[in-house]
């Protein structure tokens, strides 16, 4: 008896349970940075492109819109599966039977950053293509997404940009201006490299630190990610404790060092910004009042009948 991943596909019937970016809409074709990216789309049906797609996005309404748009504009492109669960998306992307040609990954899911999902896939696979999706400015994610092994970034708010990015990457190209490489070259770039994020820092905390590093305030981060402002503060506090920082400035400095690919040593960063070995007699319970992590989300796999 086959399991859900191996049996025939089923139509999506679930409701929206996530907090990711919204669905693509018809517009003037400009992306959220005010330009067309690598756009070549004329607005019609693209019948000469074939391939298979998987979608990782916790916004059910957005997935419904994407399904319809791809069906209408790319008639020979098949959506193999969609999932709201990032872990399941990684497993399916790496599965020999369920692996599609291209995986579309939402950048602002509630529990995982899209960059981390792409990195987890690319570290283990040099074939599947990866495209990040945003409803905000691409510049907030583009460079980090390129370092995470993706082949491009597309806007959910521009039909032309959305379709053009899929077409370009399915053809084996890259899409965007952030130093993207093809799947094989990005795999080689990541192969053997230590993951950018500390093993102790969760993907949501990493996303908050990435945005803090750009100078964004808590309200702006909350709006960008789609979580409460208090949750942003909680993730920032947890990250600060794991980075051995007493202030956000120190945490950003430590995080920037980590992002640059240097190993973060177990150092204690003092209030004056100087780094030294963490005192051995420092109480182990000093951060015991920090909030506990509550990451995790139940995932539902939605698939379409062949």
Q: What is the CATH number of the domain that holds 237?
A: 1.10.10.10
Close Cβ partners of 248 (under 8 Å, ≥ 6 residues apart): 212, 236, 240
Query: What is the domain range of residue 103?
Result: 51-193
For residues 238 and 121, membership in a common domain is answered with no
Report CA-CA distances (Å) from 268 to 161, 225, 249, 265, 303.
45, 29, 14, 9, 49
For residues 180 and 55, membership in a common domain is answered with yes
d(CA 269, CA 243): 9
For residues 98 and 211, membership in a common domain is answered with no
For residues 248 and 169, membership in a common domain is answered with no
For residues 152 and 235, membership in a common domain is answered with no
d(CA 93, CA 110): 20
* Assigned domain for 295 exists: no
For residues 188 and 210, membership in a common domain is answered with no
* Assigned domain for 45 exists: no
* Assigned domain for 43 exists: no
More confident residue, 122 or 244: 122
Residue 150 pLDDT > 90:
yes
For residues 152 and 261, membership in a common domain is answered with no
Last residue of a domain, one of 150, 166, 193: 193
pTM attached to this predicted model: 0.60
For residues 61 and 170, membership in a common domain is answered with yes
CB-based contact 234:291 (threshold 8 Å): yes
Q: Which of 63-67, 100-104, 149-153, 239-243 has the least mean pLDDT?
A: 239-243
For residues 237 and 181, membership in a common domain is answered with no
CA distance between the termini of the chain: 19
For residues 57 and 186, membership in a common domain is answered with yes
- The overall longest dimension of the chain from CA atoms, in Å, is 68
* Assigned domain for 28 exists: no
* Assigned domain for 208 exists: yes
For residues 73 and 176, membership in a common domain is answered with yes
Residue 128 pLDDT > 90:
yes
d(CA 297, CA 285): 29
Number of domains in the chain: 2
Query: Residues 250-274, buried b or exposed e (16+ Cβ, 10 A)?
Result: bbbbbbebbbeeeebeebebeeeee
CB-based contact 47:88 (threshold 8 Å): no
Identify the CATH number of the domain in which residue 88 sits: 3.40.50.2300
Handedness of CA 187, 121, 106, 216 (dihedral sign): negative
Report the percentage of the chain scoring pLDDT > 70: 67
For residues 90 and 176, membership in a common domain is answered with yes
More confident residue, 183 or 300: 183
d(CA 223, CA 210): 14
């Amino acid at each position: 008896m086959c399991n859900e991943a191996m049996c025939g596909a089923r139509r999506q019937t679930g409701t929206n349970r996530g907090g990711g970016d919204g669905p693509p809409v018809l517009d003037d074709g400009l992306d959220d940075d005010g330009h067309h990216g690598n756009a070549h789309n004329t607005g019609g049906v693209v019948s000469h492109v074939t391939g298979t797609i998987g979608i990782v996005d916790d916004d059910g309404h957005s997935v419904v819109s994407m399904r319809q748009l791809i069906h209408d504009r790319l008639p020979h492109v098949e959506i193999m599966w969609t999932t709201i669960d990032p872990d399941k998306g990684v497993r399916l992307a790496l599965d020999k039977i369920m692996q599609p040609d291209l995986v579309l990954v939402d950048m602002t899911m509630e529990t995982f950053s899209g960059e981390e999902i792409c990195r987890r896939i690319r570290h283990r696979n040099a074939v599947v293509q990866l495209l990040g999706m945003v409803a905000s400015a691409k510049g907030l994610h583009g460079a980090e997404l390129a370092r995470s092994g993706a082949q491009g970034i597309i806007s959910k708010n521009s039909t032309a940009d959305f379709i053009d990015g899929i077409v370009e990457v399915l053809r084996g190209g890259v899409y965007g201006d952030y130093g993207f490489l093809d799947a094989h070259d990005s795999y080689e770039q990541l192969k053997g490299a230590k993951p950018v994020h500390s093993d102790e820092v969760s993907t949501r905390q990493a996303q908050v630190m990435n945005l803090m590093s750009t100078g964004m305030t808590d309200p702006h981060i909350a709006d960008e990610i789609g979580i409460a402002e208090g949750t942003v503060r909680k993730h920032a506090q947890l990250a600060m404790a794991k980075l051995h920082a007493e202030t956000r400035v120190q945490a950003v400095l430590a995080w920037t060092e980590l992002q640059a690919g240097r190993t973060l040593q177990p150092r204690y960063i003092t209030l004056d910004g100087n780094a030294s070995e963490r005192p051995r007699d420092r109480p182990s319970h000093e951060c015991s009042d920090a909030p506990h992590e509550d990451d995790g989300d139940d995932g539902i796999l939605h698939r379409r009948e062949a």
